[in-house]
Homo-oligomer: A and B are copies of this chain.
Amino acid sequence: MKVSEFNVTNMVDDIQKQNGKIEDVYFVACGGSLIDLYSSEYFVKRESKSMHSAWIPSKEFVLTPPAHLGKNSLVFVCSHGGNTKETVEAADVAYETGAYVITYTHNPQSKCANSKYHSIVYAWESDTPQEEKPMCLTYAILNELIHRQEPEYLLYDSMKDGIEKIDKIIRKAVNDTTNKAWVFSEKYYNEPFLYIMSSGAAYAQSYGFAICSLQEMQWMDCCYINSAEYFHGPFEVTDENHLYILMMSKGKTREIDERALRFLQKYGKKYEVIDAENCGLETIEENCVDYFNAPLFYEMSVLYRTAIENKTRHPLSMRRYMGVVEY
């Protein structure tokens, strides 16, 4: 179905009618689509007492599926183009076990849009609101499901409120940060290498910034680090010549990012801080604000990569292999 036909109540009704109690939620995709699902996995792991969760690259899921996968599983599968071979395979592996399979895709003609799955075809335009993109659609479905399965669940209203507010917050934050991103790019677009860090539910946004925005779209070398791991190896390379981007979350894991910042201030020189606390997230309730760093940081990575493209003149859509050669 198209997002315009999507109704969270109806979908969760259908999940419960068809599969009863959901005990396991799996998040399965490749690359950027997998990254989109990370914060939802984190959400289930920390907030749900009735469900377990796992975040698994498609081909791993196909070759070594989780032992609990089955009738009481809900599986989120995402493929932007909708035909990524291993992701379609993964959807089928899940489908065959009787799991409830929700596929997200941007392409209504793709394999992921097949009616045998519960497919949601999303728009991906600059004016598409956050609540109609996979990250917030997933939050909405899980929020409704946990609410129904767990009488003691406390985040129901605040998550709904956050999903409603986040689009406007992000648009303003991106606007306010544009000049800062240009200045960053002016200084560093030609840097041979950099590290990108973030924490908690937003960790995968470092991973995505690195592998999608820079490695894939700019052929730039870089590495991603979970801020919680920085002091356990990676920080030994830090010095005044190394470049870092630190995306600081608002919420429970913020102190991890703050510790990394203090170190960079003392021993580094070239570091860019993208701080969620300066981005208007204070109107989202504290008990769930952690989960709204991820969509914010995603849009920040788009802003920064566009600023970098503007200097490098390396088109963001240029590929030498993906969709160009056989592999």
Interface pair B215/A237, CB less than 8 Å apart: yes
A155 to chain B, nearest CB (A): 11
Bound-state Cα–Cα, A320 to B63, Å: 42
Complex partner residue of A252 from B63, B220, B221, B222, CB under 8 angstroms: B63
List B contacts of A320 (CB < 8 A): 236
Neighbouring B residues of A68 by C-beta, 8 Å: 49, 52
- The answer, among B48, B63, B201, B223, for a CB contact under 8 Å with A221, is B223
Complex CA gap A67/B32 in Å reads 27
| A 282-306 binary contact with B (CB < 8 Å = 1; else 0) | 0000000010000000000000000
Instruction: List residues of A (222-274) whose CB comes within 8 Å of B's CBs.
Output: 222-226, 228-229, 231-238, 242, 252-253, 255-256, 259, 262-263, 267
Q: Are B220 and A237 in contact (CB under 8 A)?
A: yes
Say yes or no: B31 contacts A259, CB within 8 Å: no
Beta-carbon contact of A228 and B57 below 8 Å = yes
- Asked if residues A46 and B30 are in contact (CB atoms below 8 Å), the reply is no
Query: Copy number of this protein in the oligomer?
Result: 2
Q: Could you give, for residues 27-49 of chain A, a 1 whenever the CB lies within 8 Å of some chain B CB and a 0 otherwise?
A: 00011101000000010011111
Q: Are B59 and A228 closer than 8 Å at their CB atoms?
A: yes
How many angstroms from the CA of A226 to the CA of B224 in the assembled complex?
A: 13
Chain B positions within 8 Å of A234 at CB level: 211, 215-216
Q: How far is the CB of A42 from chain B (nearest CB, A)?
A: 8
Chain B residues near A252: list those with CB within 8 A: 63-64
A200-B63 in contact (CB<8A): yes
A319 within 8 A of B: yes
Known contacts A219-B237, A321-B235, A321-B236; is-contact A63 B256 (Cβ 8 Å)? yes
- Determine the distance from Cα of A234 to Cα of B46 in the docked complex, in whole angstroms: 30
Give residues 191-232 of A contacting B (CB, 8 Å): 192-193, 199-201, 210-212, 215-217, 219-226, 228-229, 231-232
Could you list some 10 contacts between A and B, CB below 8 A? A32-B232, A60-B200, A60-B226, A64-B253, A84-B232, A215-B237, A221-B242, A223-B223, A235-B327, A263-B321
